[in-house]
Amino acid sequence: MRKYVVFFVLIILIPLVGNTQICVSYRLENKQIQGADLYFDLYLNTTASSTSDLYLGNSDFIVDFNSSNFLNPVLTKEAFQEPILGINIGFCTFTAADTSAGTTLFLRSNYYSSTVTQIIGSELFINLLGPTPSSVATYNTDVAKIDGAAQNHRLGRFKLSGFTGTTLADAGLQFKEGTTGFQTKIYSMQNDGQVFPEEFVTCRSAFNMELFAYLEGPYNTTSGMMDTYLNLKAGNGAYRGLLPGQAPFSANATPTPAGQPYSVAPWSYSGTEGDNVTDYPESVVDWLLITLRTDLSTNVWRSTAWLHEDGRITLLEIPETDQLPDSAFVVIHHRNHLAIMSPEKLPLENRVTGFDFRSNDAQIVVPGVGQKQILPGVYAMHAGDGDQTSDVITGQDINGSDNVIWAVNNGLFDTYDPADYNMSGDLSGNDKLVWSVNNGLFIQIPK
């Protein structure tokens, strides 16, 4: 019989003056199955209801899993040796309030080494023993500052071995919610200038929406993934560095201004989540706009997101779960593809939801189209709608105006342009070919 030891840390809370509120979202992302091993990342960020940043102290993350689909499971944290200084930072991406001292890698290493994993029954325990600053200076350099940037704050990558299932659903990974037994607890370290007490964060959300989709334009039927030519890839000039905020590979290219690309008409989304983005994971293809709707046209929440080469979608803003309905349709917009909508409402009440558009067609609002089947059983959003401002407000169509904006700029190189339908970074006859195949298609999904 396996024996387990659970360590408890006694936290003495000192009341602090002020009306600040910390609201934190935590979630599991990048879940992948490799043989009998299941990998996942743990991310945190503050939400829109937060009036203060989170300074991460002692915390316990409790995750339920379907133990019946595992044989002798073991939970471990994944190591990663940073190549410059050769220290183990373990996929942690945290930073402190003060980064001028150049101690960021040491902060990440400390959070990695202070994270302990174990399994009790059908629950995974990820326990973090937070830092112990001795002064204001070390508080500012040693304590991780968590803000609203959803993709900046990864505690680490974890491996759960012994998996005998076939799909991610078989694993049943979900943050434990309830009122009995061990619970996820997050503490924020405070700074009153002399001591550094910890405050238990009561405003929190484990909401996680796992979405997947393909774009027809950059999809590569040979690799089975989308090309990322608008992004950068070290030393390869075919990858242009044209995503908003990036420094292009070519010195002759004009940088695309920072900021998410859906602030303009017809989307008019005012989110600021892309304002300070200058660096992207190499897997990012482009930006998307994600919408939750109660019916065909009533929006209840919107956020931009990153689309990765394998179709995985990373939200850059997390909704407040108490403001969401029990279920909603998911709509995905792209700046030069026809939008798609889930064929039915997705449940939201359990804080974990998702849909894979790659293997399931989108809703078809008659008259209109859903997605294109680009390979047997593989679906993608239709390319060719670069002029979406001229589309009717009740939908989108691919027509002559989309060809006109291509014709005007045909021959341009190194450009983040809506008429670049294959998303190569250049405008050429290949883009017109993509448009001509889909010319005349339309959907009845309002913007």
Residue 92 sits in a domain whose CATH number is 2.60.40
Tell whether 195 and 241 lie within a shared domain: no
238 domain residue, yes or no: yes
Q: Is the pLDDT of residue 61 over 60?
A: yes
Tell whether 65 and 175 lie within a shared domain: yes
Q: What is the pLDDT of residues 241-259, one digit of tens each?
A: 999 999 999 999 999 999 9
Tell whether 370 and 242 lie within a shared domain: yes
Tell whether 175 and 89 lie within a shared domain: yes
Tell whether 262 and 158 lie within a shared domain: no
pLDDT of residue 10: 33
12 domain residue, yes or no: no
Amino acid at 109: S
Q: Which two tokens stand for residue 441?
A: 């298609």
**C-alpha to C-alpha distances, 241 to 1, 233, 410, 428, nearest whole angstrom:** 55, 8, 20, 19
Sign of CA dihedral 419, 422, 423, 424: negative
- Determine the Cα–Cα distance for residues 378 and 216; give it in Å rounded to an integer: 11
pLDDT of residue 4: 42
206, 225, 244 - which closes a domain: 206
Tell whether 139 and 280 lie within a shared domain: no
Tell whether 79 and 149 lie within a shared domain: yes
Mean pLDDT (whole number) for 128-151: 92
pLDDT, the chain, mean? 90
Structural domain count, the chain: 2
Tell whether 315 and 231 lie within a shared domain: yes
14 domain residue, yes or no: no
- Domain boundaries, position 81: 23-206
pLDDT of residue 13: 32
> What confidence tier does 316 reach under pLDDT thresholds 50, 70, 90?
confident
414 domain residue, yes or no: yes
Q: How far is CA 306 from the centre of its chain?
A: 6
- Determine the Cα–Cα distance for residues 142 and 106; give it in Å rounded to an integer: 8
Which residues are within 8 A (CB) of 145 and not within 5 positions of it... i.e. 6 or more apart? 53, 54, 55, 94, 95, 96, 97
**C-alpha to C-alpha distances, 330 to 211, 254, 307, 315, nearest whole angstrom:** 9, 34, 15, 13
Tell whether 353 and 253 lie within a shared domain: yes
8 domain residue, yes or no: no
Tell whether 282 and 426 lie within a shared domain: yes
Mean pLDDT (whole number) for 203-208: 81
Mean pLDDT (whole number) for 227-239: 92
3 domain residue, yes or no: no
Question: What phi-psi label fits residue 76: left (phi over 0), alpha (psi between -120 and 50 degrees) or beta?
Answer: beta
43 domain residue, yes or no: yes
206, 233, 262 - which closes a domain: 206
pLDDT of residue 16: 39
Q: What is the pLDDT of residues 385-434, one digit of tens each?
A: 999 988 777 789 999 999 999 999 999 999 999 999 999 999 999 999 99
Q: Does the reported pTM lie above 0.85? A: no
Tell whether 215 and 197 lie within a shared domain: no
> What confidence tier does 324 reach under pLDDT thresholds 50, 70, 90?
confident
